[in-house]
Amino acid sequence: MADEHGTGLVPGIDDPGPIGDVREGMPVVDSTGAELGTVQDVKIGDPAAVTAEGQRMSESVSLFGRIAQEAAGPEPDVEQELAELLLREGYVKIKSKVPLRRGRYAGAGQIAGVRDGVVTLNVPADHLAVEV
């Protein structure tokens, strides 16, 4: 299946958009320029998926990584309906700069871009999902 430009790329799958440039440890700023923390986890989703079935854990994760993920609980750690959306769309989990503050989740569509190693969001911090 090709896109309308004939490139052969399927938007969201072959070309995930700005989320494809995000890496763990990168600083994250919101649309107001406020520093929110750093990227703790990146999940590139499949926007064409009808459900989130099979989106939870990658086959490429090592045994140790699987054990760590299971011990931490399922990600994203938000209400079920929102978790399903984030798993399909893709998300970035942001570790707060403030100790003991819960993490936040930015959906792939909330990422404006990555420049000079900094992830910039297109929404203010109060529009992000908060870890439960």
Whether residue 101 lies inside any domain: the answer is: yes
Q: According to the 3-state scheme, what is the secondary structure of the chain?
A: CCCCCCCCCCECCCECHHHHHCCCCCEEECCCCCEEEEEEEEEECCCCCCCCCCCCCCCCCCHHHHHHHHHHCCCCCCCHHHHHHHHHHEEEEEEECCCCCCCEEEEHHHEEEEECCEEEECCCHHHCEECC
Whether residue 28 lies inside any domain: the answer is: yes
Q: What is the mean pLDDT of residues 47-64?
A: 53
Q: Range of 33's domain?
A: 18-130
Q: Total domain count for the chain?
A: 1
**15 band by pLDDT with thresholds 50, 70 and 90:** confident
Whether residue 109 lies inside any domain: the answer is: yes
| pLDDT tens-digit map of 65-87 | 556 545 556 899 999 999 999 99
For residue 13, the model assigns a pLDDT of 52
CATH code assigned at 66? 3.90.50
Q: What is the mean pLDDT of residues 111-126?
A: 98
Q: Could you tell me what percent of the chain has a pLDDT over 90?
A: 61
